[in-house]
Structure 1
Amino acid sequence: MTDRTEAVVIVGGVTGVGVARDLAMRGVDTTLLERGSGLNAGTSGRSHGVLHSGARYAEADPEGAADCLRENGIIREIAAGCVADSGGLFLRLAGDDPEYFERKLDACRDLGMEPELLATDEVRERVPEVSDRLEAGFAIPDGVVYPSRLVAATAASAREHGATIYTDAGVTDIEVAAGRITIHTDGAEIVADTVVNAAGPWAGEVASLAGARLGMRPTRGVMVAVERSGIGPVLNRCREPADGDIVVPHGEQAVLGTTSVAVDDPDDFEREDWEVERTLAECAEMVPSLADATVQRTYWGLRPLYEPDEVGREGRGISRDFAVVAHDTAPGLVSVVGGKLTTHRRMAEAVADRVCEDLGVDEPCRTAVEPLPGAGGPERLDELAREFGAVGPADSDVVGE
C-alpha cells in the first residue's frame, strides 16, 4: 500500500504532535508516524514536567529564556488543564555563590519576569520544610505541566484539523529522489513532498536513513519520584547547573531531578544506582526530609541535545536551545532538534514556517490562540491520553486518578 501526503512528521512526542497540529491548521495534508504503540513514549513522557519560566536559563541563554517566559504564558492560556500553577522558587543555600544568585536575579529582571525577592522567613512560609541552610530566595512563575495530557490534546487538535496519526509505524528507510520523498514503515509506504524529523534523541538515526548527517549528543538524566505531598512550588537550587538541583511537586509525590550523562545509543543505555542516590542526596540539601522519603518510582529521560560542531563539550555545556536544520544532502527533509518541552509550540511554529515556505502555503500560525481540545478539563484530557496511549512515566501518578 502506498499513501500520498504533503508532509510526514516523525515522531509522536510533544514537538512532533505540535508540528502536525500547526501544519494541519494551515491546511497542509499531514501524516504523523510514531514507532511505538502510543504517543509520548520518548523524551516528553520522561521529563520532570516543569513549565519553565525561563529563570533556569536567564543568565546563560537569555534568548531561550525569553522564549520560555512567553511560551509559559501561552500554554497556560491554551492548555490550562495540562498545567498546575505551582509557582517556583530559586534557593541559595550556605556555600552557594552569592554573586551567581545576584546574576540570576538580575537576568530574570532583564527578561521582564519580575522575580519576587523573598526574605528567608517568607520562603519558609511557602516551604516549611526548607533547609536551615537557606540564605536567600526569589519567586518566579514556574509551573508543572503534565506531558501526557499536553501531547494527547495536541494530537487531538491535529486530528481535528485533518492530520492522520499512525502508531506502530516505525520508519525503516527514507528515499529522496526526483523531488519527492518515499518513507518506508513497518507496514506501508508513504510518498510526501516534505518530511519533518522531530525524533528527539533519535533524530540523528532518522536523518541517516535519508543519507543525511545530524550532530546529536543525547544525555540521560534520572528522575526520582518520592512520597511527599505539600512541597508547594517548584524548587530550584540557585547555583551553576549540577546534579540534583530541582524538586517538582506532583500531587502526593515530588519528582526529584536530575543527572546528565552522555549516551551513545538512545535505545540501549545504562541506568546507574549512583544517579538515584546522588539525586536524592542533592535534593535533600534543599529539603532535608526528602532524604528519608519513600521512593515510589524512578525513570530516566533523554535530552535531545544538538552539537553540530562536535567539539566534545560536556552534556550540560551543550545548548538547550533548538535548531531547525534543512539537509542539502536530502532535499525536503527538515530536522528540528534541541529545545525544551516548554518551548515545543514555538519550535513547531518555526518548523511549520519553513515547511510552508517550501510548499508555497501562505497561512499564518494560529496555535498560540486556539485552545486545545479539553484544555480546561482534566477528565477529558485523561480520556484523550488513554485513547492515544500517551500516559508516560512523567505523570502516571496524576493522569487518570
Structure 2
Amino acid sequence: MNSRTDVLVIGGGATGAGVARDLALRDVEVTLVERDGLSAGTSGRSHGLLHSGARYAEADRPEARACLEESRILKEIAGVCVRDTRGLFVQLSEDDPDYFEAKRAACEEVGISTEVVDGESVRAEIPDLTDDVERAMWVPDGVVLPSRLVAANAADARDHGAEVLTRAPVTGMRRENGRVTEVDLGGEVDETIEPTYVVNAAGPYAASIAEMVDATVTLHPTKGVMVSVEYDRLEPVLNRCRDPDDGDIIVPHDDEVVLGTTSVPVDDPEEYERADWEVERSVEECAKMLPPVADAARLRTWWGVRPLYEPEEAALDERGISRGFHLLEHDDEGVDNIASIVGGKLTTYRKMAEATADLVCDRLDVDADCETATRRLPGADDPEQVDEFVAEFDGQGPTDEDLIGR
C-alpha cells in the first residue's frame, strides 16, 4: 500500500520528534517513522545531562551559547521532562587550576552564571564529596528525562495532525529525476510512502539512510558507557573540572546516580564491543569525585553512540570534534528533496529541529514561523500523562527508566 505525505521524518529520537512537532505546528503534513520504539537510539541512551553550556565554554563557545539558550527554553516549556538541579564543576588537587580559571572566565564571557566556592564549603553541602576537592563552581546545569521529552514532542506532533509510526524501519528508498520518490517501510507497518520532502534524522544511522539514495553523510561515531548505581544523596550534577575525559560526569536521579562516560570510535552503531574496561574506568574516575559510588550496587549499564560529524577533522581525537549540529542538503549529489541533520546535543534538539523545519518550509514554500520555543509541551505539568505518552510510543530508554512511572 502506498501513501503520500508532505514530509517524511526518519528517526524517532529527540531531533526527529522535534522536527515532526515543529512542522506539525506550522500545519505541514508530516509522518515520523522509527525502526524501534521512540528514543531507542542516542537520545534514550544518553547520560541525561541538561547542559548549561559550561562544559563547552572555553573550547566551543557557539555550542556553549546554544546550550545555555536551549536549556533555559527547556526549563520553561518541558516541565516534568527536565529537572533544574544545578551543577558543580569540581577541581581536585591533581587538576590544573589554570583550567578552572579558564573555564570560569569563558563562562562569564558566554553569559553562564557561576559561583565559586572553596572545598570546605562545598563539602558542607555535599558531605560525601571527596576530601581531595580544592574548589568548585556552581553552574545552571540540570537533568533531562529523554524518554519523556521525546514522547511529549511526538504526542504534540500527533495532536497537530502528524502520523507517528513506530516499529517501522526504512528498508528501501528510490530516487527518480533527482528526487526521492518512494520510501519502503518494513516491520509492523509494511507500506510505501511517497514523500514530497525527506528529513534524515536517524542519528548514527544517518549515513546508511543517505546511502539508500546514493548520498553521503560522513560520520565519526563514538560510543560511550553509562553506569547507574544506587546512591540517593546527590542533588546537583557533578562535572570534573579538567579537559573532557573518561568518567567525568555524575548525573543525579532520585535514589540513583548515572556515571559516565567514555568516548571510543566505532565503525558500526550496532556491532561494537561493550568492554568491561569502559565500565570500570568510568566508575573509578567518577569515584574520585564521589567516593561512595565505587562500592555502590550497580543497577544497569548501557552504551550510546554519538552521531558526530566532522569529515575534515576525522583524524582528530574524538573528544575534539565539535558537538554542534550540521544540516546537510544533498542537491550537489543529485538529490534535492532530502536533508540530513546530524551532530548536536540532546540539550539543543529543539534548535536543531527549528533549523531543519525552517529549511523544509523554505523548500516547500510554506510561510509559517516556529512556535516551539514558547509553547509548552503537552503534559508538562502532569507526569502521569507524559508517562502514558512514553508507554504509547514504546519510548522507554535506559537513561531514565528508574524515574518514569513514579
The answer to whether TM tops 0.5 is yes
Asked whether 1:364 is paired with 2:363, we answer: no
How many aligned residue pairs are there? 400
Tell me the equivalent position of 2:155. Answer: 156
Tell me the equivalent position of 1:296. Answer: 299
TM-score, normalised relative to structure 2: 0.97
Tell me the equivalent position of 2:130. Answer: 131
Partner SS, residue 135 of structure 2: strand
Q: How does 1:188-337 map to 2 (within 5 A)?
A: 188-309=191-312, 311-328=314-331, 329=333, 330-337=335-342
Partner letter of residue 367 of structure 1?
A: T
Tell me the equivalent position of 2:13. Answer: 13
Measure, in 2, the Cα distance between the counterparts of 1:123 and 1:312: 40
**Deviation of residue 176 (structure 1)?**
2.0
Measure, in 2, the Cα distance between the counterparts of 1:381 and 1:125: 36
**Deviation of residue 398 (structure 1)?**
0.8
Partner SS, residue 106 of structure 2: helix
Task: Say if 1:204 and 1:213, in contact at 8 Å, map to a contact too.
Answer: yes
Measure, in 1, the Cα distance between the counterparts of 2:282 and 2:196: 46
Task: Say if 2:313 and 2:321, in contact at 8 Å, map to a contact too.
Answer: no
* Structure 1 gaps, min length 5: none
**Deviation of residue 266 (structure 1)?**
0.6
Task: Say if 1:215 and 1:309, in contact at 8 Å, map to a contact too.
Answer: no
CA deviation string 1:19-42 (max 9, x = no partner): 000011111110011111x11100
**Deviation of residue 384 (structure 1)?**
1.0
**Deviation of residue 311 (structure 1)?**
3.4
Partner letter of residue 3 of structure 2?
A: D
Task: Say if 2:324 and 2:343, in contact at 8 Å, map to a contact too.
Answer: yes
Asked whether 1:392 is paired with 2:397, we answer: yes
Tell me the equivalent position of 1:342. Answer: 347
Partner SS, residue 194 of structure 1: strand
CA deviation string 1:356-379 (max 9, x = no partner): 100001100000111111011211
Distance 1:310 1:112, change over 3 A: closer
**Deviation of residue 84 (structure 1)?**
1.4
Distance 1:274 1:180, change over 3 A: closer
Tell me the equivalent position of 1:3. Answer: 3
**Deviation of residue 310 (structure 1)?**
5.5
Distance 1:68 1:310, change over 3 A: closer
Asked whether 1:59 is paired with 2:52, we answer: no
* Structure 2 gaps, min length 5: none
TM-score, normalised relative to structure 1: 0.98
Partner SS, residue 288 of structure 2: helix
CA deviation string 1:63-87 (max 9, x = no partner): 1110100110111111111111211
Task: Say if 1:235 and 1:246, in contact at 8 Å, map to a contact too.
Answer: yes
Task: Say if 2:180 and 2:213, in contact at 8 Å, map to a contact too.
Answer: no
Task: Say if 1:181 and 1:332, in contact at 8 Å, map to a contact too.
Answer: no
Q: Percent identity?
A: 54
Please give the root-mean-square deviation of Cα atoms over the aligned residues, in Å.
1.0
